[in-house]
Amino acid sequence: MSESPQPDSDQPIQSSRGLLSIVGIGPGCDGLIAPQALGAIAEADLVVGYSTYIKLVKHLLKDKCIVRTGMTEEIARARAAIDEARKGRKVTVISSGDAGVYGMCSLVFGVLQEDGWTRDASPELRIVPGISAINACASLVGAPLGHDFCAISLSDLLTPWQSIRKKIDRAADADFVIGLYNPASGRRQRQIVEAQEIIAKYRSGTTPVAIVKSAYRKQQSTVICNLDNFLDYEIGMNTTVLVGSTQTIVYDGFMVTPRGYANKYTWEGEVLEGQQPARSLNPDMLPVREDS
């Protein structure tokens, strides 16, 4: 087992039960960080994170003790956070997006399980949600997640590529809107090409596709194109690709997946012939108009 990285500076050890907070900082801009996540960072004695994510919130970390590591050193980060929290410190582990979506949360649980940790043991555990990449990217291009969707990471570092291929095939066949995380990198280009080929077996070449890079960060860029030509654009590790379903449309530059209201109602709210109106669980509840 590798040695845990050491904090950047010393901090007094508290005598109370330690607190380990795992928080998502969303895409990284302050306006999209949840208040509870900001609170967990503010009260922390020690903040642990990937170097890039530490940079995104460094203005919030003045006078904080910090543990930062590079990519592929996630286990060392989790171990350092747990070890320091066990000493009685308030430790906050940060992930971009939501820590429970391709983030540090499940890894921390893995290390805790290996250690035999239980809920009543030290440290106390707190999980604070954040805006995931798929939500942040979707907001920049319209409403592509208006109906059923899924997220699939194309990184085969921890998951065999054959397993990922099967997931793409099943998702495409089931007509999910598909969010592709980690679509490509400098050394990994074939996966996104194969993903396109698999999805094209089930969807037309005109299916809308959004390419979003660095959502809500300085290098942000968005492109809405289609399944036939989206590979013509630059796609890297900071990119999320949103592939529409067979129902997804492009409306005045926005990518939209209808929820299905038009199958049941007119746009005046009347029920279409042959359809049954939805009924409230509380029959006494009626629309109320309040005039000022």
| Residue 92: its H or E element | strand 90-95
Same domain flag for 146 and 237 = yes
Q: In this structure, is residue 291 part of a structural domain?
A: no
Model confidence pLDDT, tens digit, residues 36-73? 999 999 999 999 999 999 999 999 999 899 998 887 78
252 and 150 belong to one structural domain: yes
For residue 271, the model assigns a pLDDT of: 79
Residue 24 is part of a domain; what is its CATH number?
Answer: 3.40.1010.10
Q: Strand, helix or coil at 180?
A: strand
Structural domains counted in the chain: 2
Q: On the CB side of 125, how many CA atoms lie within 13 Å of its CA? A: 15
pLDDT at site 269: 79
Containing structural domain, residue 249: 134-256
Greater model confidence, 284 or 265: 265
**Is residue 269 situated within a structural domain?**
no
The count of other CB atoms within 10 Å of the CB of residue 187 is: 5
Which pLDDT score is estimated for 12?
43
Residue 92: CB partners within 8 Å, gap ≥ 6? 21, 22, 23, 40, 41, 43, 44, 46, 47, 48
Same domain as 154, residue 122: no
The domain that holds 219 is classified in CATH as 3.30.950.10
Give the end of a domain, one of 97, 114, 131. 131
Q: Final residue of a domain: which of 113, 131, 149?
A: 131
One domain for residues 99 and 154: no
End residue of a domain, out of 100, 131, 162: 131
Looking at the structure, tell me whether residues 26 and 125 fall in a common domain: yes
Residues 139 and 179 grouped into a single domain? yes
Say whether both 214 and 230 belong to one domain.
Answer: yes
- Is residue 121 domain-shared with residue 226, that is, in the same domain? no
Q: Are 120 and 159 in a shared domain?
A: no
Same domain, 178 and 207: yes
Same domain, 147 and 103: no
**Predicted local distance difference test score (pLDDT) of residue 151:** 98
**Backbone dihedral region of 217: left (phi > 0), alpha (psi from -120 to 50 degrees) or beta?**
beta
Q: Is there a domain that residue 2 lies in?
A: no
**Per-residue pLDDT, 288:** 64
What is the secondary structure of 43-64 as a DSSP string? H-SEEEEEHHHHHHTGGG-TT-
Does residue 73 fall inside a structural domain? Answer: yes
Is residue 263 a part of any domain in this protein?
no
The string of pLDDT tens digits covering residues 223-280 is 999 999 999 999 998 999 999 999 999 999 999 999 976 777 777 778 777 777 776 6
pLDDT score of 5: 58
Distance of CA 85 to the CA centre of its chain: 25
Q: Which two tokens stand for residue 33?
A: 């960080």
Q: What is the mean pLDDT of residues 178-184?
A: 96
44 found inside a domain: yes
Exposed/middle/buried for residue 274 (C-beta within 10 Å: 0-12, 13-18, 19+): exposed
**Domain-located, residue 268:** no
Are residues 120 and 146 located together in one domain of the fold?
Answer: no
> Six-digit token pair at 223?
């492109």
Confirm whether 209 is domain-assigned: yes
The predicted pLDDT at position 17 comes to 82
Q: 261: Cβ–Cβ under 8 A, 6 or more apart, which residues?
A: none
